[in-house]
Amino acid sequence: MEKKTPDNKRKTVLTTSRNSRKKRSTSYDVSRMAGVSQSAVSRCFKPGGSVSAKTRAKVEAAAKKLGYQPNAIARGLITRRSNIVAVIITELTNLNYPEVLSQLNKILGQKGIHILLFTFGSKENIDNVLDQVWQYQVDGIIAATQFTDKQIKACFERGTPLVFYNSVYADSSINSVCCDHEEGERQLVESLLKDKRKSFVVMSGPKESAVSTARTRGAINTLNEGDVSVLQLSGDYSYQSARELIREMFENKTFEPDAIVCANDTMAIGCIDALRHEYNMKVPEQVAVVGFDGVSQARWASYEVTTVVQPVEHMVEAAVNMLIERIENPESPAEKRLFAGKLIAGRSALLN
Amino acid sequence: MEKKTPDNKRKTVLTTSRNSRKKRSTSYDVSRMAGVSQSAVSRCFKPGGSVSAKTRAKVEAAAKKLGYQPNAIARGLITRRSNIVAVIITELTNLNYPEVLSQLNKILGQKGIHILLFTFGSKENIDNVLDQVWQYQVDGIIAATQFTDKQIKACFERGTPLVFYNSVYADSSINSVCCDHEEGERQLVESLLKDKRKSFVVMSGPKESAVSTARTRGAINTLNEGDVSVLQLSGDYSYQSARELIREMFENKTFEPDAIVCANDTMAIGCIDALRHEYNMKVPEQVAVVGFDGVSQARWASYEVTTVVQPVEHMVEAAVNMLIERIENPESPAEKRLFAGKLIAGRSALLN
DNA sequence: CTGAAAGCGCTTACAG
DNA sequence: CTGAAAGCGCTTACAG
């Protein structure tokens, strides 16, 4: 009631809520209290703005008293820089992503950039996500998911810088940071070949995942160079899918592997559990199992998965730097950065 | 070069970048092409805006041709509704959070609300995060972390609705959604007591975590009702910390537990691995181990942790609904919602 | 260094 | 239903 309501027609729900919401103070409020112009206030909050020490002192005192913070939304409207980046990421249940996301937040935060987060299951439509992204005028996009050509083109047309994380496209005008999945897998498989393994199962992740495809390709190509038998199975990156594939294989009794190459650590863990706990087999003596990613769970004593660790910190930092470079200088040439993974010999496979 | 640059003084880096950035079309561009007023365009994009079918058709055609999307930033400036909610979350490595975050995104997304994500390690300052939050004029905050009274007061003063997730405060004017950690722990411990366990280790998480404190309190209070010996140890929710605590305990040979009550599943898994792989002990025969959370890893065959599952989906949905209710109606009374967890008997403890 | 003024792209009473 | 106009809270040439 103590509020001034000059306009007593304000009665809609929206207005009610607007009124009862405390009004935040603006640069005008500060300028009035400090006895300076509104422009002066604005300059005080702009790094490198030219203001005298005296003016700055007055403004800072007033701002503090009023609890003033510049409105980043209004600023973004006029500067066309929101300092917000969209992070689009599938499968948050993928054990690798929390680390990626956490690292992204850390590095972007250091640069004063914020994350508008979009995650989604396979069901949802990336087009919808992109619509949201345009509306929020983000400065750029980091995408850890697969886009269609059309979606990529839309980003170009709108001039929104785009960097893919672990998702590669042949088109050289597309920016990406990627782990060398194919080469990493080759190293794993070569070690298994040296260890005289003869019957291989290669267990892929989801069909639509380019990462899984690259890993599988690395495995198959390397195996084709050796004199071994190979069975390809297709899962979905999950622990459950790996267990089920093992179960099916043994029930059909069609194949007796002595090595299993999994598309990620989670599936490797699923295989190890199925082999040991359902079929009473020795890992790695009877069957060697290898994964990929280097998630923390892979190091747990019950598994100690032999795997390739992605250099997540370096990759994320590279992605962020690439994106910022392209936000600040849209003419930067496109670039693909490929990082080597590091093979870690655990106890799920005998490697010398 | 084909661009019109009426003002040839534009030469700063910022301006360069602005120019080379494709200009997105605005409601004015659409109105010009459609031959209607800009207000008409605006109304077409407002749900329930009153426009004739004819006008709407013209506007939609023009908008489509221009690839127009309303600028949510400009809209937010005038409506004072950004449709952005800040999600503030510690310890993304905590295995429970990916699920929470993914669920948050799903439910908020369904309501047309976006997430500005803030994660941080223990080092960083929540005050800094809150400064960012104010600047971005978020509609509300979901905090899965501990605030100081002063920080909570700041939210009140600015009129920013705030809902805590798994973080409780005595003050009844604070909104929160929480799992009943104390009662869940009581149930776990009672089962262990029924199972005739006599020597208990209670392994806490980080000192600053209210959740860990509640769980530990539930355990200790229940144990005090029985005739058993109790050793309290303090870790940090991590697998490593649990293994180290076990190691220290056995090296000091001060205590021989037959039951270990862990602050979360990850620590329970660490205990199981340490007991089995370092000390060659049988779990659950010699030592029973229980956790808390119900993360997917707890169900892995190597562990099958007896635990209490948090009803994450319900909790997140409750938090989102509470927040939206308070955004739309700031006068809503404060509320605390407490959800029961569900005890799942795994094979890490013998429960009947 | 400083202030007055224009303008970012919208929404929304208001008057027709 | 429609359009002209004011205004959200800023930044930034411009002129002093």
For residues A195-217, average pLDDT? 94
Q: Are residues B201 and B288 in the same domain?
A: yes
Separation between Cα atoms, residue A128 and residue A312, nearest integer Å: 28
Chain A residues with CB-CB distance to B74 below 8 A: 77
Q: Above pLDDT 70, what percent of chain A?
A: 92
Does residue B59 form part of some domain? yes
Does residue B30 form part of some domain? yes
Per-residue confidence band for B352, with pLDDT thresholds at 50, 70 and 90: low
Task: Return the H-helix or E-strand segment holding B189.
Answer: helix B181-194
Q: Are residues B107 and B186 in the same domain?
A: no
Q: Which of B102, B108, B296, B331 is most worth mutating to test chain A (most A CB atoms within 10 A of its CB)? A: B102
Count: domains in chain B: 3
The answer for B50, left when phi > 0, alpha when psi is -120 to 50, beta otherwise, is: beta
Interface size A-B, in CB pairs within 8 Å, comes to: 178
Chain A residues with CB-CB distance to B301 below 8 A: 243, 273-274, 276-278
pLDDT at A123: 66
Q: Are residues B172 and B214 in the same domain?
A: no
Tokens at A299, concatenated: 């190091």
Chain A residues with CB-CB distance to B118 below 8 A: 105, 109, 114
CA/C1' separation A39–D16 (Å): 15
Provide the 8-state DSSP code for A121.
Answer: -
> pTM of the full predicted structure?
0.90
Cβ atoms A309, A294 nearer than 8 A: yes
Q: Which of B26, B43, B70 is the last residue of a domain?
A: B70
Separation between Cα atoms, residue B283 and residue B276, nearest integer Å: 7
- Tell me which residue range forms the domain holding A321: 79-179+312-341
The structure tokens 């500060």 sit at A30
Does residue B266 form part of some domain? yes
Per-residue confidence band for A352, with pLDDT thresholds at 50, 70 and 90: low
**Helix A126-135 vs helix A149-158: angle between axes, to the nearest 10 degrees?**
10
A244-249 long-range contacts, Cβ below 8 Å, gap at least 24?
A245/A203, A246/A270, A246/A271, A246/A274, A246/A275, A246/A278, A246/A279, A247/A274, A247/A278, A249/A201
Does residue A74 form part of some domain? no
Higher pLDDT, B3 or A103: A103
Higher pLDDT, A119 or A14: A119
In this complex, the nucleotide whose C1' atom is nearest to the CA atom of residue B79 is C11
Q: Are residues A43 and A142 in the same domain?
A: no
The DSSP bridge pattern shows strands A114-120 and B114-120 to be antiparallel
CA/C1' separation A26–D9 (Å): 7
Q: Which of A41, A68, A95 is the last residue of a domain?
A: A68
Strand C and chain B: which residues 75-114 have CB closer than 7 Å? Answer: 75, 77-79
Lowest mean pLDDT segment, chosen from A96-110, A117-131, B101-115, B199-213: A117-131
Does residue A6 form part of some domain? no
Residue B237 CB lies within 7 Å of the nucleic strand C:
no
Q: Are residues A260 and A283 in the same domain?
A: yes
Does residue A300 form part of some domain? yes
Higher pLDDT, B51 or A223: A223
Does residue A8 form part of some domain? no
Residue B42 CB lies within 7 Å of the nucleic strand C:
yes
Contact between chains at A301 and B274 (C-beta distance less than 8 A):
yes
pLDDT at B214: 95
Say if B302 is an interface residue toward chain A (CB within 8 Å): yes
Q: Are residues B295 and B189 in the same domain?
A: yes
Q: Which of B99, B104, B127, B300 is most worth mutating to test chain A (most A CB atoms within 10 A of its CB)? A: B300
The DSSP bridge pattern shows strands B342-344 and B307-309 to be antiparallel
Q: Which of A131, A135, A326 is most worth mutating to test chain B (most B CB atoms within 10 A of its CB)? A: A135
The whole-chain average pLDDT of chain B stands at: 89
Paired residues of A164 in beta bridges: A143, A176
Q: What CATH number has the domain bearing residue A54?
A: 1.10.260.40
Separation between Cα atoms, residue B2 and residue A56, nearest integer Å: 43
CA/C1' separation A82–D7 (Å): 21
**pLDDT exceeds cutoff 80 at A216:** yes
Say if B329 is an interface residue toward chain A (CB within 8 Å): yes
pLDDT at B199: 97
Nearest-5° Cα angle at A142, A141 to A146: 105
Nearest Cα neighbor of A157 from B23, B162, B221, B313 is: B23
**pLDDT exceeds cutoff 80 at B194:** yes
Q: Are residues A85 and A168 in the same domain?
A: yes
For residues A262-288, average pLDDT? 97
Q: Are residues A270 and A186 in the same domain?
A: yes
For residues B213-221, average pLDDT? 97
Does residue B238 form part of some domain? yes
Contact between chains at B73 and A276 (C-beta distance less than 8 A):
no
Contact between chains at A77 and B80 (C-beta distance less than 8 A):
no
CA/C1' separation A79–D14 (Å): 18
Q: Are residues A114 and A231 in the same domain?
A: no
Separation between Cα atoms, residue A28 and residue A10, nearest integer Å: 24
Paired residues of A231 in beta bridges: A201
Chain A residues with CB-CB distance to B126 below 8 A: none
Higher pLDDT, B126 or A267: A267
For residues B327-339, average pLDDT? 94
Question: Which chain A residue has its CA at the smallest distance from B94's CA?
Answer: A98
CA/C1' separation A25–C4 (Å): 21
For residues B157-182, average pLDDT? 93
Q: Are residues B50 and B83 in the same domain?
A: no
Q: Are residues B59 and B171 in the same domain?
A: no
Q: Are residues A125 and A61 in the same domain?
A: no
For residues A231-248, average pLDDT? 96
Residues 41 through 70 of chain B touching chain A, CB cutoff 8 Å: 67, 69-70
Q: What CATH number has the domain bearing residue A189?
A: 3.40.50.2300
Per-residue confidence band for B2, with pLDDT thresholds at 50, 70 and 90: very low
